[in-house]
Structure 1
Amino acid sequence: MFLFLTGLLFFGFTPKNNQDEVKDYLNVPGPLTFDKTDYNLTWSSHPSDIYYMQEYIPKGDNIDKFKNMVLLNVIASDSLKLEAVVALKLAELTKLQKENPVIQFKSYDNSNTGEHIIDFLLSANEPDGKHLSFVERNVYRYKYFVDKSGQKGILLFGVSTRAYGHDIYKFFSDLKEHRTEIIPKVGDFSVPEITLTK
């Protein structure tokens, strides 16, 4: 299980392309409304028996070069501990930070709900390695779930924003001024009930 989770959580920017037909594995067709913006189901994957991924973007955005995204990831397991998943993600970010000084992260624990939030910043370079291709800010909220059939597991609700090229400078400026505003919005978001489709 540890090696499996490490593989799932290891960070990588993978081209996805818009899918003509997107399977709704979680029975959450959308749109999902977050911070007054509607996000439509655009991409999904079921890479293993217990892992499900769905990504939603606003109308007119592109999954492979998005600016705004919300996502739902699910690990179906009766025994997996939330703390273990969060610890693996933090370990991954710590390792990446040693190689990339742009990477920053901070975690928040909610003692009342048992949920965890990780706020982190990632980046990718242009092929020449001298300039940033894009930066990506993510706020991931981890929580336990039980679906309508009784299946237990861990659910990740995430919000991602990206900036490319010359827009990166303004992105950093805005982030410095408004970084904390999105944290309570992610924490308070009413995550829809899910039912896994295998």
Structure 2
Amino acid sequence: MTTHRFFSVFLSTLFIASEALGQSNKPPKDYLAVAGPIRFANTAYHLAWTAHLSATFYKQEYVAAGDKPERFKTMLLLDVVTSPLKLSDVVRAKVDELQRLKQQNLVVSYEVFEKDGEYLLDFLLSQNTPDGKQISIVERNVYRYKTVVTRSGQPAVLLFGVSTRAYDAEVTPFLTKLKADRSTLLRQVSQVSMPQIAIAK
């Protein structure tokens, strides 16, 4: 299980811990008919990991050439729940998770934006070294939530997310750059063309 899956969840417990969801030698199954590559910010991202976590919940991860899901610099996420959920409830559930995390980790922060019936959630997470003295990973996420209809007519909630990371000695420069320019990634995610999805049988 990658650290990103430890960090990032959608309508499920934060600690999905199962080696059954790990990588295998087989190509990942494209559950959403969005095999990729997906182009974002002039970079091509390729399908690297997928999971069908429940009857209605699908998750796909995409990384650029040279990156790996278990240790990436930038990752794209597509999460889909094929259920007529209220979008504000979905976002509130994620914010509640972040609130609980923040009680144990002061680095955790978030901001929610709403426009035209869609939501953007911008949040920061971190993981410490085993001795707890230093930050070993810092991760910034921008999630865009939208209500969609699949090609087969199913109502669904689609999450398009971008996660960026820094490790060890790169953590401080990453946070300094983030303070200077938070808006670029927010703008890019808000303007991206959301993929049309179709659930694989």
- The TM-score normalised by the length of structure 1 is 0.91
Structure 2, unmatched stretches of 5+, are: 1-8
Residues 139 and 171 (structure 1), Cα distance of their counterparts in 2 relative to 1, 3 Å cut: same
- Of 153, 175, 178, 2:178 maps to 175
* CA deviation map 1:77-102 (0-9, x unaligned): 13x11010001111111111111000
C-alpha contact (below 8 Å) 1:75/1:155 kept by paired residues: yes
Deviation at 1:196, TM superposition (A): 0.5
The match for 1:11 is 14
The match for 1:29 is 35
Is 1:69 equivalent to 2:75 in the alignment?
yes
Structure 1, unmatched stretches of 5+, are: 1-5
Equivalent AA in structure 2 for residue 172 of structure 1: L
Partner secondary structure for residue 135 of structure 1:
strand
Looking at structure 2, the residues matched to 127 and 141 of structure 1 have their Cα atoms a distance apart, in angstroms, of 32
The match for 1:192 is 195
Pairwise mapping of residues 123-142 of structure 1 onto structure 2 (< 5 A)? 123-142=126-145
The match for 1:159 is 162
- Of 56, 62, 71, 1:56 maps to 62
C-alpha contact (below 8 Å) 1:18/1:64 kept by paired residues: no
Q: How many residues align?
A: 190
Looking at structure 2, the residues matched to 12 and 100 of structure 1 have their Cα atoms a distance apart, in angstroms, of 16
Looking at structure 1, the residues matched to 23 and 67 of structure 2 have their Cα atoms a distance apart, in angstroms, of 10
C-alpha contact (below 8 Å) 2:11/2:94 kept by paired residues: no
Deviation at 1:34, TM superposition (A): 0.6
C-alpha contact (below 8 Å) 2:10/2:79 kept by paired residues: no
The match for 1:3 is none
- The TM-score normalised by the length of structure 2 is 0.89
Looking at structure 1, the residues matched to 166 and 22 of structure 2 have their Cα atoms a distance apart, in angstroms, of 18
Looking at structure 2, the residues matched to 50 and 30 of structure 1 have their Cα atoms a distance apart, in angstroms, of 22
Partner secondary structure for residue 42 of structure 1:
strand
C-alpha contact (below 8 Å) 1:31/1:40 kept by paired residues: yes
Deviation at 1:11, TM superposition (A): 2.9
